[in-house]
Structure 1
Amino acid sequence: MSETRLTEAEYDAITEAAAQWCMRLHEPDCTDREREAFSVWLNADPLHASEYDAMLDIWDVSEHLPPPVPAATPKHQRPPAARRSTWQRFGIAAAITLLGIPAAAYCGWQLGWVPNAYERLEASTSRQQMTLPDGTQVELNLGTQLTFSNYKDQRQVTLDKGEAFFKVSHDAAHPFVVQAAEGRVRVTGTQFNVWRYEDQVRVTLVEGSVLVTSNKNLSSEGLHLEPGMQARYKAGDYAPQVSQTPATTQDLAWRNGKLILDNLTLADALPLINRYLDMPVALADSATGKLRIGGVFDTQDIHRLVTSLPKVLPVYLSLNPNGRPVINARPKG
């Protein structure tokens, strides 16, 4: 299809199909058979993948729109399904993004619903340095994905996975907010590092001050950090754990392509290791997790760290039924 010049109607059909797939795949009742059908459609033509990626950007924007206010529903009628509001938000974002309606975009901006700048950033196999539209400088570690949206009342970053170092341009009236897992980091101008692996988050402050919360839905503004402090939390934590941990070489070594493990237990080290691996490593049991490891490793070559573990620790590697590597402590005696 890509080798033939498409008509406007054919382009519209692909765009509509991409939108339908985007909405369907985000529904919890999407079946495996539907996902297989989507994979066939996606791989049928490069334009399909391009249009679908554009729809993912629109979906990200739609998630930040407030739910539309429903009309009053007579008591004898069943209220509309809850998922309809999500589809309505997606439709609003699609109209603004794809059609470029000036009035809708202007009203959405004034109400703080729609950003006037949006970017999806990713660093897969190499570290990246870039400047966001607001002037903030950001460095991305390997395997990092984030999005930036500039709203009227705040600058918003969503860290989907990975690690990023921010040098935020100062703007007290336009705070900079990083959302990670269920928490957030709020600043006006500072330098800080945010690390996320699955539902674990760690915030290290280098300069300035930040407010950290582990639950963005709480009314509290969060815990105040000053330089030399670090906050850690997992999704679902009521409040972050704060410690006096200066931003040492160990915390920011990734900016030089290094991973420093300073006599950590394997249980604590694995989240730092696994985020660099295509196939995460598991521990056989808690006793194995208590073994300690230290050293300086190249972030581009972490798989060699895993394969060399039996040479430096009393462990051996095996595979579980899913093909995932497992670290096992050698029996004593």
Structure 2
Amino acid sequence: MRNNNDHFSGDLFDQANEWYHRLHGDSVTEADRRAFCEWCAQSPDHEAAWEEVQTFAADIRMTLARPPVQATVPSLRRARRLRQSVLAIGMAAIALMVFVQMPSSWMDRFRADYLTGHGERRTIALADGTTVILDTDTALKLLPESDGRGVTLLHGEAWFAVHHDAQHPFRVLSGNGRITDVGTRFDVRHLDQTTTVAVQEGIVDVSVGSSSTLPPDHLRLNIGQGVTYGPRGLGGAQEVDPSTIASWRTGTLVFQQRPLREVIAELNRYEGSHLVLAAFSGRDRPISGTFMVGTGSKTLPALQEALGLRGLHLTPWVTVLY
């Protein structure tokens, strides 16, 4: 018997977490359940680790007003540690995802002419000869013919290879600004009321503001330059490596000294399981690297190994990192 001062290792918690994810999957078999019972019977520590995972997952489900999933397992002891910080951050992140992010996305879907779902990419050939590639979770609307050539990027990210027509410039409306181009290649990203433009080839003009609260501003971008704008106005031009612009087209994400929380938020646009970063410290730790996303991606385990993070699979759709 273990006394109350003993603690099982983090490795056992990870093993129990893997069993939880496996037992709640669609492909679980009777052989899996028998193997799990054998694993539990090996040691009281195994039972305690399993009970901790069960308790943590059930507490989150009850908080979200969802009944906990019951697995067919032996009667197990309750754990002594609930990892309260993980629970609090996890609940907040999941609630924000469900109640804040989704309504805006759904509204844009009713307005859009072209859409992509989570993890999807799509190539569009416009009538004027322009090619547009839509990234994951993107909504695009064509401008009326009376407004000339162009589109409105409602949300998401898109790469443009514009057909040259000096007499009829191509425009991209995004947020409170307008990107005007004659014939070039560039990327536009619009998320959370912020737009980022990066020029891979040629020249584009970026114009922002035309209201009493935000005076008009204008900036010309050349190859290898980018800019960000939003409700507070137009920022200054920044140098951008043209080879990294719209790298998502090939399933690659490149980060250069980006805070960990921003890296996690970006990965959530591609990963099948929503990642919740529950660690209080290290959220602003700068991250540089190249990550592959999409089917068969090894990004999550690589990130966990590099940063010493553990993952708790609450469901196939939510993973808490701590």
User: Normalising TM by the smaller chain, what interval?
Assistant: 0.5 to 0.7
d(CA) in 1 for partners of 2:253, 2:296: 9
Report the alpha carbon displacement of residue 243 of structure 1 after superposing the two structures with TM: 0.6
Structure 1 CA distance for aligned equivalents of residues 295 and 209 of structure 2: 35
Deviations 1:205-261 (A, max 9, x none): 12221122344655636211111111123x31221332122312x323212121223
Aligned to 2:248: 254
Distance 1:306 1:168 in 2: 35
Match of 1:244, as an amino acid? E
Alignment match, 2:239: 244
- Are 2:218 and 1:225 aligned? no
Letter in 1 for 2:114: L
CA distance in 1, matches of 2:203, 2:296: 33
Distance change in 2, residues 1:186/1:278 (3 Å): farther
Q: What is the rounded CA distance, in whole Å, between the counterparts of 2:200 and 2:297 in structure 1?
A: 30
Kindly provide the CA deviation profile for residues 171-229 of structure 1, in whole angstroms up to 9, marking residues without a partner as x.
Answer: 34433221223322122222111123332322111222112234465563621111111
Equivalents in 2 of 1:294, 1:219: separation in Å? 36
CA distance in 2, matches of 1:144, 1:269: 19
- Distance, in Å, in 1 between the alignment partners of 2:282 and 2:135 is 28
The code of the aligned residue for 2:241 comes to P
Shift of 1:300: 0.8
Q: Shift in Å at residue 126 of structure 1? A: 3.6
1:269-308 to 2 correspondences below 5 Å: 269-277=263-271, 280-284=274-278, 287-301=281-295, 304-306=298-300, 308=302
Q: Relative to structure 1, is the Cα distance of residues 192 and 151 closer, same or farther in structure 2, using a 3 angstrom cutoff? A: same
Q: Could you report, residue by residue, the CA deviation over 1:84-120 in whole angstroms, capped at 9, with x for unpaired residues?
A: xxxxxxxxxxxxxxxxxxxxxxxxxxxxxxxxxxx81
Quote the offset at 1:276 in angstroms.
1.8
> Is the 1:141–1:163 Cα contact (8 Å) retained in structure 2?
yes
Are the equivalent residues in 2 in contact too, given 1:184–1:216 (CA < 8 A)?
Answer: no
Choose 1 or 2 for highest CA Rg. Answer: 2
CA distance in 1, matches of 2:180, 2:281: 39
Code of the aligned partner of 2:304: P
Contact in 2 for aligned 1:129/1:140 (Cα 8 Å): yes
CA displacement at 1:132 relative to structure 2: 0.5
Q: With a CA cutoff of 8 Å and minimum separation of 6, indicate the structure with the bigger relative contact order.
A: 2
Equivalent pair of 1:153/1:173 in contact (CA under 8 Å): no
Aligned match of 2:199: 205
1:165 counterpart letter in structure 2: W
Q: Would you say 1:188 and 2:189 are equivalent positions?
A: no
Contact 1:258–1:296 under 8 Å retained in 2: yes
Q: Distance in 1 between matches of 2:127 and 2:259?
A: 41
Could you tell me which of 99, 116, 119 is aligned with 1:123? 116
For residues 3-32 of structure 1, give each alpha carbon's deviation from its aligned partner in whole angstroms, at most 9, with x where no partner exists. xxxxxxxxxxxxxxxxxxxxxxxxxxxxxx
Does the 8 Å contact 2:209/2:217 carry over to 1?
Answer: no
Using a 3 Å threshold, how does the CA distance of structure 1 residues 302 and 273 change in structure 2: closer, same or farther? farther
1:146 aligns with 2:133: no
Cα distance in 2 for partners of 1:279, 1:214 equals: 36
Pairing of 1:57-72 with structure 2 (within 5 A): 60=111
CA distance in 1, matches of 2:218, 2:296: 35
**For 2:163 and 2:294, how far apart are their aligned partners in 1?**
30
Q: 1:282 to 1:240 in 2, by over 3 A?
A: farther
> Which residue is 2:128 aligned to?
134
Q: Where do 5+ consecutive residues of structure 1 fail to align?
A: 1-52, 61-118, 329-333
Q: 8 Å contact 1:213–1:240 — kept in the other structure?
A: no
Cα offset, 1:266, TM superposition: 0.8
CA positional deviation for 1:274: 2.5
Residue-pair matches, total: 212
Name segments (4+ residues, structure 1) moved above 6 Å: none
- Amino acid aligned to 1:226: N
The alpha-carbon distance between structure 1 residues 313 and 302, as it changes in their structure 2 partners (threshold 3 A), is: farther
Q: Secondary structure at the match of 2:232?
A: coil
**Alpha-carbon separation, structure 1, partners of 2:172 and 2:153:** 7
Q: 1:301 to 1:289 in 2, by over 3 A?
A: farther
2: CA distance, partners of 1:239 / 1:302: 39
CA 1:138–1:299: 2 relative to 1, 3 Å: same
1:34-183 equivalence runs, <5 A: 60=111, 120-124=113-117, 125-183=119-177
TM-score, normalised relative to structure 1: 0.53
SS of aligned partner of 2:146: coil
CA distance in 1 between partners of 2:294 and 2:182 (Å): 33
